[in-house]
Chains A and B, each alone.
Chain A
Amino acid sequence: MLVINTCRAASRLALRSLNLRSPIATRTFSAGLALKTKDVVNITFVRANGDKIKTSGKVGDSLLDVVVNNSVDLDGFGACEGTLTCSTCHLIFKTSDFEKLPDKPGDEELDMLDLAYELTDTSRLGCQIILSKDMEGLEVHVPSTINDARAA
């Protein structure tokens, strides 16, 4: 467990330093970057108070991965680490986006959503949403929690 943690922390650090270097990388290795951007999906998390957090993930990542890999500042998000045993990665989609999602929620996901605060008809768990290229520019709402109470 501790080993996993350390690996995660290390990969997060690596990601962070990559982010720091990215302006230089763009100029120096623009061809390489162009290849990579094919797999990058831009995502915006919107807090209940309207604050927007713009970030990105790779095709195949879950929305929970996006939050973890980018250290998106959402306290308590993903408590069970994507094992469908909590509801802390609850996200609310626009109806049109919700309907476009390829997989409908299964019983287990719905069971956990039933315990979520501010459940809506277009709620999903972030750990169950896998990024695809056609999700480019997706905006998802994070239910108001203590995060927003503080930021407001």
Chain B
Amino acid sequence: MGMGLLNIWRRGLYTSSARLQMIQGAKPTKRICIVGAGPAGFYAAQLILKQLDDSVVDVLEKLPVPFGLVRFGVAPDHPEVKNVINTFTKTAEHPRLRYFGNLSLGSDVSLQELRDRYHAVLLTYGADQDRQLELENEQQGNVISARKFVAWYNGLPGAENLAPDLSGRDVTIVGQGNVAVDVARMLLSPLDALKTTDTTEYALEALSRSQVERVHLVGRRGPLQAAFTIKELREMLKLPNVDTRWRTDDFSGIDLQLDKLQRPRKRLTELMLKSLKEQGRSSGTKQFLPIFLRAPKAIGPGEMEFSVTELQQEAAVATSSTERLPSHLILRSIGYKSSCVDGAINFDTRRGRVHNIDGRVLKDDASGIVDPGLYVAGWLGTGPTGVIVTTMNGAFSVAKNICDDIAANVFDTSSAKPGYDADGKPVVTWDGWRRINDFEIEAGKAKGKPREKIVSINDMLRVAGV
């Protein structure tokens, strides 16, 4: 109903009386476009809608379905984390928000067109590429990115044919962030624990045939620099039928440094030390093997070679010693980066993000001059770090900058803007997403799953009624 009212109101804007009003000084609606319907986009929309009574926010999403990494990144066995979807849904159903799914910046619409049609554009399309090891043989089939593996089990369209080779005993994950730990947990969890999650059916089928018994989690630096957080580690330590085995040498002298550590790092280190002390007391058939102070050196058949490293001022420096680990499958998890989807974006290719200061996109990186009315939030602006609360705070802060800039007339909002014209375009509206959502939940019921995700874009469009 809200959308209907809005449309009537919009049409009204073009009648002569409305025009006259505008000429006489009534301020037109502030039109703001957000590109990307992930956490950064939704949190920014939430704040803008609340702060600016006279705004309309359009959210454009490349895929037919919303929620970005909450749907395609968060592990299926962490359904509680996905509760943020309830808040995002409330935002999406705000009468002054329009959702356009299946609309891709760079191919369906250009940045210039959006800037012409909106007073301000906020880019929040995330980070869909991953950093490479830059090693020979990295393009071989037994080396895949953890990002793709996550996309595969979470049903990201295009990732369903990954076919990870799970026929060997040893998997090596390069990197020790929470994505790496998520992947390790998915590989080691008892299948029954995953059957009641929204893990895609084809991934469950592949995991049911998995021969993987040992997962190495390799980091360049030491236990005090471990990138995973304590909740994820505690979960690994509690996994049934899985032994966590640390290397005693990695921890020499670590206990002496405990007193110097801040509480979060201290508690994480204490948990690792406690687990080290207790290891060997239980005997699972599968093993989780965190390994520190090893830097990737070479990829060979069925194995991976690492340089032994030393820490110098917290940086890992390779020594001449090496170690080989049996590695039937190698998963690279050393960070994401963004891609530049439109030539008009001032993109930092080296760091894989958009040049910006506090979310204000820079005209050029050298002068530090801001391009008024163009903003970036989330991983596209900050790089791929932090949990959802980090992205939330960042997105709130950029949204506040947008509101402040409008109040300070940093860019012109005195003339009306039309917004995106979706007439005749194959876009998925919020109602369309609700049809997909209902369909997925219904399809999950029969299997005892919260939902069975639709993976094909064509199927999504069909169900949405596009």
Given known A-B contacts A1-B86, A2-B89, A2-B434, A79 and B396 have beta carbons under 8 A apart: no
Contact yes or no, A115 B392, CB < 8 A: no
A4–B86 Cα distance when bound, in Å, is 9
Contact of A115 among B84, B264, B397 (CB under 8 A): B264
B366: Cβ under 8 A from any A Cβ: no
Q: Provide the residues of chain A in CB contact with B50, threshold 8 Å.
A: 75
Is A85 at the interface (CB under 8 A from chain B)? yes
Cβ of A49 within 8 Å of any chain B Cβ, yes or no, is no
- B345 within 8 Å of A by Cβ? no
**Given A79-B389, A86-B81, A150-B400, residue A5 in contact with residue B86 (CB < 8 A):** yes
Measured in the bound complex, the distance between the Cα atoms of B387 and A117 in whole Å is 12
Give complex CA distance A150, B398 in Å.
12
Contact B234 A111 (CB under 8 A): yes
A80 contacts chain B at the CB level, 8 A cutoff: yes
Q: When the two chains form their complex, are residues B263 and A114 in contact, meaning their CB atoms are under 8 A apart?
A: yes
The reply to whether A79 and B229 form a contact with Cβ atoms under 8 Å apart is no
A112 engages B83 (CB within 8 Å): no
In the complex the two chains form, what is the Cα distance from A39 to B161 in whole Å?
58
Contact of B86 among A81, A117, A119 (CB under 8 A): A81
Q: How many residues of A contact B (CB 8 A)?
A: 30
Say yes or no: is B333 at the interface (Cβ < 8 Å to chain A). Answer: no
Cβ-defined contact, B81 with A75, below 8 A: no
Contact A84 B80 (CB under 8 A): yes
Chain A 108-120 interface 0/1 with B at a Cβ cutoff of 8 Å (1 = within): 1011101111010
- The verdict on B90 contacting chain A, using a C-beta distance below 8 Å, is yes
What residues of chain B lie closer than 8 Å to A145, measured between beta carbons? 393, 396
- Of the residues A76, A111, A112, contact of B43 by C-beta under 8 Å: A76
**Closest A residue, CB atoms, query B264:** A114
Most chain B beta-carbon neighbours within 10 Å: one of A4, A81, A116: A81
Residues of A within 8 A of B229 (CB): 111, 114-115
B89 adjacent to A79 (CB under 8 Å): no
How many of chain B's residues have a CB under 8 angstroms from any CB in A? 34
Cβ-based interface call for B47 (8 A): yes
B230 close to A (CB within 8 Å): yes
Chain A, Cβ-Cβ closest to B83: A81
Q: How far is the CA of A111 from the CA of B232 in the complex (A)?
A: 9
- Closest 8 A-B residue pairs measured CB to CB? A83-B80, A114-B264, A146-B396, A85-B80, A81-B83, A111-B231, A111-B230, A85-B81
The yes or no answer to A87 lying at the interface (CB within 8 A) is: yes
Whether B86 pairs with A115 at a CB distance below 8 angstroms is no
Could you pull out 16 A-B pairs where Cβ atoms are within 8 angstroms? A1-B441, A4-B86, A5-B90, A76-B392, A80-B84, A81-B80, A85-B81, A85-B83, A85-B231, A108-B234, A110-B267, A111-B229, A111-B231, A114-B229, A117-B389, A146-B393
Given contacts A79-B389, A88-B389, A115-B229, are A149 and B81 in contact (CB under 8 A)? Answer: no
Q: Which residues on B sit within 8 Å (CB–CB) of A4?
A: 86
CB distance from B288 to the nearest CB of A (A): 18
Tally of contacts, chain A with chain B, CB under 8 A: 86
Nearest chain B CB to A143 CB, angstrom units: 11
Looking at the assembled complex, report how far the CB atom of B311 sits from the nearest CB atom of chain A, in whole angstroms: 23
Chain A residues lying within 8 Å of B104, measured Cβ to Cβ, are none
Let me know if A103 is at the binding interface, CB within 8 A.
Answer: no
Instruction: List the interface of chain A (C-beta within 8 A of B).
Output: 1-2, 4-5, 9, 75-76, 79-81, 83-88, 107-108, 110-112, 114-117, 119, 145-146, 149-150
A residues in contact with B80, CB < 8 Å: 80-81, 83-85
Known: A86-B81, A146-B397. A114 touches B267 (CB 8 A): yes
Contact, CB under 8 Å: B396 / A76: yes
- The 0/1 profile, CB within 8 Å of A marked 1, for residues 424-456 of chain B is 000000000010010001000000000000000
Chain A residues with CB below 8 A from B434, complex form: 2
Check if B388 is an interface residue, CB within 8 A of chain A: yes
How far is the CB of A85 from the nearest CB of chain B, in Å? 4
Choose among A76, A107, A116, A146 the residue that contacts B234 (Cβ–Cβ < 8 A). Answer: A107
* CB–CB B393/A86 < 8 A: no
Whether the Cβ atoms of B234 and A80 lie closer than 8 Å is no
Smallest CB separation, A67 vs chain B (Å): 13
Contact assessment for A86 and B397 in the assembled complex, using a CB-CB cutoff below 8 Å: no
- Please, how many angstroms separate the alpha-carbon atoms of A54 and B89 in the complex? 28
Question: Once bound together, how far apart are the Cα atoms of A86 and B388, in whole Å?
Answer: 8
Question: What residue in chain B is nearest A147 (Cβ atoms)?
Answer: B396
Bound Cα distance from A119 to B392, whole angstroms: 17
* CB-based contact B389/A86 at 8 Å: yes
Question: Is B325 an interface position by the 8 A CB rule?
Answer: no
Q: Which one of A5, A84, A112 contacts B89 once the chains associate, using CB atoms below 8 Å?
A: A5
- Give per-residue flags for B198-238: 1 if the beta carbon is below 8 A from chain A beta carbons, else 0: 00000000000000000000000000000001110010000
Q: Report if B87 contacts A (CB, 8 A).
A: yes
Q: Which residues of A contact B387 (CB under 8 A)?
A: 86, 115
* CA A143 to CA B397, docked complex, whole Å: 15
B406 close to chain A: CB less than 8 A? no
B80-100 contact mask (Cβ, 8 Å, vs A): 1 or 0: 110111110110000000000
